[in-house]
Structure 1
């Protein structure tokens, strides 16, 4: 199940579940895998930014990745971003040996010039090996690295093992159009483009040429439905489904508490046992939890939505 440039659909970004005392919760990993498969996901992505990867010990990172790879039964992409290439190589080779489909590499925040970005990805590919398919993670809002379409094109053209872009620029619709324009004029080979940002712009990203989504919104069913409907040309229906989720989607995108909201909703859905985060981590106030409950109750009443068994309390 090696990742390639034809990958499409929805790869939910999985959170890393913890017990309240900070231990890894392997049972919740298994429930997440079952839920993603049941929802119709194409694959899964683990150890991303929202997966609290920097808070894990190296052996824990491998254990989490291996559990998801074994449990999902679908292509699994593993985030291997690290301050140094030695740690990146070690994790990348280990997860591929355990059956990962590919790895995702984010640039380090210190990169400022185009040449620095290109040099970084040259070093990363040299470290992990040209035989491992990799995903560029373009997330300037968090990583503070600005990758222009031309820089992305240069990475893609220089490295045949680059098969996908995780697009999380904001605003970023024009970037998708530019990249697909390069593909149309023959200056860049085709690659898969999956989008992030919690799905906040997925409705129009699909219309700009995205192949699907790779993000962690707590109702991946919505992401899957929007991708399916847009690919079928059912634009109004896709936007109707998206619009019903927009209030919760917006709430989840708040900087600082986004992961806390997401984990709380997943706990409410019964997909993880606890919304605990590894320290340091934010927590929801009682008022914030009540607001999320209100949004969930409104969403549950929306006729025709598949909420994975959620019922308002």
Structure 2
């Protein structure tokens, strides 16, 4: 597998971790999910992220999940989330993942970081721990991690650490941040950097116009992300926005705090991609009323995008 570089672009699906109803890792659903991402044309897959329930896995399980995705990914690049409270666990997972063929790793800040010096110092230590030979993606997600990166801090992290080749941009509001970072590149104060965006794709339409290279998020219809990224790059603005707008109500519903992953897994199960919508405990679930609301939203999306035309009840085989 080729290593991650600053030229990475397109759509990297954030993969959930499939579980059986009793909490065991579901290897067959991992394979089916990976095959699905490849078949629809994803450029890469990011595993063991926040929506991948990584903190609920033991160290050996994390390696098992990462290696399973990597082995199945074929031509897709796999980025492995290695964030951990301690650097020993981070290094162990990073080295094991790269040895298995991962393209790179993703590192998020500790939620306790506050000052700019603390933030930049932390990532310098993290890079020293995992090794400067491993390309990595910086995760900027203040809504969940409560750590604020200014554009200047991001620039310093990237310039101080040559192995940082990608930013996962998930600030909100964050459109001006993308414009500022691209401005740094134009004036020569920031080296080339891949910028992929998250936040459940809530602002993907305008993020692409501000200079993002693509999407790295986990919406239940990654085909839409692929199409919006492509249409935006082709300059087909209205077509990109029309498709995005059709999915936006479901995107919004999936972005609800606490139950968002339950909604996403529910739809992926309805699509026959994963066998169970179960999360490992502690986890959330959605009520029968919520499921009916999702069905209604799917029926509305299907008016524009037939890929959302799903039967009220469906599950993965085998």
TM-score interval, smaller chain: over 0.9
For 1:271, which of 270, 273, 280 is the aligned residue?
273
C-alpha distance in 2 between matches for 1:202 and 1:124: 29
Shift of 1:90: 0.5
Give 3-state SS (helix, strand or coil) of 2:14's partner: coil
Note the alpha carbon deviations across 1:112-167, whole angstroms, 9 max, x for none.
Answer: 00000000001000000000000000000000000000000001101110000000
Shift of 1:297: 1.8
Uncovered stretches (5+) of structure 1, i.e. residues with no partner? none
C-alpha distance in 2 between matches for 1:191 and 1:267: 35
TM-score (norm 1): 0.98
Q: Which residue of 2 aligns with 1:200?
A: 202
Q: Which residue of 2 aligns with 1:30?
A: 31
Tell me whether 1:8 sits opposite 2:14 in the alignment: no
Shift of 1:11: 0.3
Q: How does 1:39-188 map to 2 (within 5 A)?
A: 39-73=40-74, 74-188=76-190
Tell me whether 1:294 sits opposite 2:296 in the alignment: yes
Shift of 1:4: 0.1
Contact 1:300 1:311 in 2 (8 A): no
Note the alpha carbon deviations across 1:227-268, whole angstroms, 9 max, x for none.
Answer: 000000000000000001001000000001000000000000
Note the alpha carbon deviations across 1:71-128, whole angstroms, 9 max, x for none.
Answer: 1111000000000001000000000000000000000000000000000001000000
TM-score (norm 2): 0.96
C-alpha distance in 2 between matches for 1:28 and 1:310: 19
Shift of 1:301: 3.0
Shift of 1:299: 1.7
Cα RMSD after superposing both structures: 1.0
Moved over 4 A (4+): none
Contact 1:297 1:311 in 2 (8 A): no
Contact 1:269 1:310 in 2 (8 A): yes
Q: How many residues align?
A: 311
C-alpha distance in 2 between matches for 1:27 and 1:312: 23
Contact 1:206 1:230 in 2 (8 A): yes
Tell me whether 1:18 sits opposite 2:47 in the alignment: no
